[in-house]
Amino acid sequence: MSAFLRFCARKALPLIADIEVHGDVGKLPKGGYMLASNHLGRLDSLVVYCVIDNDDLIHPLTDKYKKYWYGRLAGKIFNVTWLTRGEADMSAMKEFISRLKNGAIMVIAPEGTRSKAMSLLKAEPGAIYIASTAKVGIIPVALTGTEDADVVARLKKFKRLKITITAGDEIYYPPDIKSVKGAERDKLLQDSIDEVMCRIAAMLPERYRGYYGDFPRTKDLLSQTFPQN
């Protein structure tokens, strides 16, 4: 199914969208890593297939979508792993970790939900726990042009979508969390996911940066990319 979806993404999407890919995606490893992106709309999951060459993809999705027909359909199409909303789903976590160790790619939006404001929300640290336990790196990816409202408005007027995919140049390896506990571990997890999100924010236009727009780390990364004269 992943091979079919990748074919559709690369053949069908260009028929309705101008897609710009930034970053050297040719250097992406074949497997055993996590791809973390901002979450703007329902098209996000399909768009990432444009840059991934692996048939073993992990798509987590909260079980609240099971009550909607389109959620169940998406679950079958993308072969998602359902997550129990509002609690630590250890069964799903174990599956993610095991598959990552065996070379799968996990596609995840650390914000946990689509941003209705189109700008970054505060991220949850679950992605760091999974990546650290599986001992895999995280590649930050920034998306623009996949907002549901914009996609619908453009398609209604037969206008082409304008989508950008920007992959980070460096893989982020989260710290080992086994040696810390309690509040110290909670802080380490949050600081680590904030680092990933700041890297995403620095690749996005200003209006998309949201919660992470004023983080010192975001400003530091922007200053490195766009040094002042």
**Start-to-end CA span in the chain (Å):** 50
Structural domain spans, the chain: 2-225
Query: How confident is the prediction along the chain (229 residues), in pLDDT tens digits per residue?
Result: 567 777 778 888 889 999 998 887 666 777 789 999 999 998 888 888 888 877 788 888 777 778 887 778 877 777 778 877 666 778 888 999 999 999 999 989 999 888 888 899 999 999 999 999 999 999 999 999 999 999 999 999 999 999 999 998 889 999 999 888 999 999 999 999 999 999 999 999 999 999 999 999 999 999 987 665 4
**2-225: CATH architecture:** 3-Layer(aba) Sandwich (3.40)
Rounded CA-CA distance 147/159 in Å is 14
Give the per-residue SS3 of the chain: CHHHHHHHHHHCHHHHEEEEEECCHHHCCCCCEEEEECCCCCCHHHHHHHCCCCCCEECEEEHHHHHCHHHHHHHHHCCCEEECCCCCCHHHHHHHHHHHHCCCEEEECCCCCCCCCCCCCCCCCHHHHHHHHHCCEEEEEEEECCCHHHHHHHHHCCCCEEEEEEECCCCECCCCCCCCCHHHHHHHHHHHHHHHHHHHHHCCCHHHCHHHCCCHHHHHHHHHHCCCC
Report pTM.
Answer: 0.89
